[in-house]
Each structure stands twice: as C-alpha cells, then as structure tokens.
Structure 1
Amino acid sequence: MVKSERPVIVLTGAIKGRANLVTIAPLSTVEPNPVQPYHYRIPKQSMPMVEIFQTNDSWLKGDMIYTVGFHRLNLIRLGKKGPDGKRLYFKNRLGIEQMKQIYQCILHGLNLSKLANYV
C-alpha cells in the first residue's frame, strides 16, 4: 500500500537500539468487504474533528502492519491556530480498551489468533 497521506495508528514507541523506528497500522475510511478479525472499526468520534475523518468511521487494517522511520510520519493538522497563533495538531490517544482490541486485530493479522485472548 502506497499513499502519501494515509492515516495510521502508531502501535509501538521507539525500539531499543533503533530509536527512530515505530510500528504502525494503516487506517481506511472504506469498510472492508467482508470484515475480518484483523479489521477494527474506529468510530468517527475517536478521530480528529477534520472533515475527512468525520464523514465515515475509520477501519484499522491489522493485516498490514509496517515498521517505518518516525521522520516519515506527520501529525494530523486540525486546520486551526491556537491562541498563540501556532498550528494545532491532533495528539489524542485511543483508550485502553480500544488499543486492546487493536492489538488483538494485529495478532489475527499475523495469524497468531490463539494469542489474542491473552492481550
């Protein structure tokens, strides 16, 4: 999958000894057909209040994880300026339960479904 501005969920922080790498999973606004155990619907209420994310729910593609250089990622701009005149970026985090379900989807995508119950 190659898209210059694909939204992603960052799954891991920096890797010891490779501080500039993170593991990510891409998002799509197109509902998969059929929905599989490695897909996860993220409601638009959890996404940035930016038009492209508010039209449809987003879907995590847990079978398409990548490790990328942190420098290749950009924060999502909210298109507004703060009281100090600087750009505002979306920096919210998903809740613990949502991340648990996302990690389970990733395990399904890696064909490690037996481990998903232990997350």
Structure 2
Amino acid sequence: MCDFRGYEEPEMVKKRPVVVIARNRHNGKPVTVVPLSSTEPVPLADCHHKMSENPLPDKPHIQCRAKCDMTATVGLARLDRYKPKGRDRCIPIISEEDFQAVKTAVAKAFKLY
C-alpha cells in the first residue's frame, strides 16, 4: 500500500495498492511504484495492464489494473503492508508474468520503445 496523501489531483491522492518496480541503486529509500486501481480507466490504453488476478488476498473477485501512466517515485515512509480484515498485515505478491507486463506497459506509457 502506498499513501499518496499530499499529492494533488490529477495525481493519485489516497492510499492504494501499488507494484514496486524499481529501487534506487545508490540509496535504498526511494522506490518507483505503479498504482493499482479497480476503476477501469477511460479511455483504456496500452499503458493500463489488466492484472491476471487481484493481489489483495481478501479481494480476489475484484478485477484491477495497473495504471502504468501514473508511475511515481516515493519514499519508503509512504509504503506499508496490506491489512486484510481480521488478518495480519501482508505483502501481496504478483505473478512474474504480470510483473513483466507492468514493466512493458510503463515503457509504453513513457514511449521508451
């Protein structure tokens, strides 16, 4: 989970699940994240990856997308583990296929190829 409070719209502005796609090689404190959303983007684009399954353990029935055009670099202080109702905090894991697809969609969002 990433706390985007303090950002301003149209940026992400609330707590939401994210995929961590990179760490800073020289300073381990900032990380690059891609937010996940259950709201389908309009218009839908190549930079919006539909996840094969929702990584949140208590929400497998809710479809989500990685919004790769909303990639951000944030400090570790903004990150926390996910807290499902009635369970301990956890760090949800995505499949390697979804991780590679998210990175490809980020490259498309930034026109890196």
By percentage of residues, which structure has more helix? 1
| Inter-partner Cα distance in structure 1 for 2:60 and 2:84 | 12
**Do residues 48 (structure 1) and 45 (structure 2) align?**
no
Amino acid at match of 2:74: V
| Inter-partner Cα distance in structure 2 for 1:16 and 1:33 | 35
Instruction: Please name the residue that 1:117 is paired with.
Output: none
Q: Any residues of structure 2 matched to 1:94-113 within 5 Å, and which?
A: 94-112=94-112
Amino acid at match of 1:78: P
Amino acid at match of 2:80: N
Q: State the Cα distance separating 1:55 from its structure 2 match.
A: 5.3
Q: State the Cα distance separating 1:36 from its structure 2 match.
A: 0.6
Instruction: Check the 8 A contact 1:28/1:60 in 2, yes or no.
Output: yes
Bigger Rg over Cα: 1
| Inter-partner Cα distance in structure 1 for 2:100 and 2:60 | 23
Normalization by structure 1: what TM-score?
Answer: 0.75
| Inter-partner Cα distance in structure 1 for 2:97 and 2:51 | 12
Normalization by structure 2: what TM-score?
Answer: 0.79
Q: Specify which of 8, 17, 23 is matched with residue 7 of structure 1.
A: 17
Q: Specify which of 46, 65, 71 is matched with residue 65 of structure 1.
A: 71
**Do residues 78 (structure 1) and 84 (structure 2) align?**
yes
Runs of 4+ deviating beyond 3 Å: none
**Do residues 20 (structure 1) and 26 (structure 2) align?**
no
Instruction: Please name the residue that 2:43 is paired with.
Output: 34
Instruction: Check the 8 A contact 2:22/2:33 in 1, yes or no.
Output: yes
Between the aligned residues of both structures, percent identity stands at 22
| Inter-partner Cα distance in structure 2 for 1:92 and 1:8 | 10
- Distance change in 2, residues 1:79/1:4 (3 Å): same
**How many residues are treated as equivalent by the alignment?**
103
How well do the aligned residues superpose, as a CA RMSD in angstroms? 1.8
Q: State the Cα distance separating 1:59 from its structure 2 match.
A: 1.1
